[in-house]
Amino acid sequence: MLKQVDYTKCYAAHYIQLGSSYACRGMLSFDEEGKPRLSSFDREYPSTIFISGTILIYPKGKDAVNLERLNKVSIDELQGLLNINPKNWSIKLP
């Protein structure tokens, strides 16, 4: 069963994947408008939920795909991809 995303929480995960790119030890949070924000997980906040596995971020209206060949990138590079169209993403928690 998939978990429902709570936009008032922060999610720390082993990996965050966006398309064919992924980053390690990331934290996903949301701004006041509900846009996703990524950062390196370096400290815990009271609202942090720990995820064992990979958070998948994928275009709305498409299926979440866990690709075999992935490119490791930095959290900042993943955030740059999110910024291209910040409201057009769905999030799948393990």
At 27, the pLDDT band (50, 70, 90 cuts) reads very high
Each residue of 29-79: pLDDT tens digit? 988 888 889 999 988 778 899 989 999 998 888 877 766 778 999 999 999
14 located within any domain:
yes
pTM score, two decimals?
Answer: 0.84
Note whether residue 77 is domain-resident.
yes
The pLDDT value recorded for residue 2 is 47
What is the domain range of residue 76?
10-92
- Model pLDDT, residue 75: 96
Contacts 24+ apart (CB under 8 A), 42-50: 44/12, 45/10, 47/8, 47/9, 47/10, 48/9, 48/10, 48/11, 48/12, 49/6, 49/9, 49/10, 49/11, 49/12, 50/12, 50/13
Query: Based on the structure, what is the number of domains in the chain?
Result: 1
Binned at pLDDT 50, 70 and 90, residue 16 comes out as very high
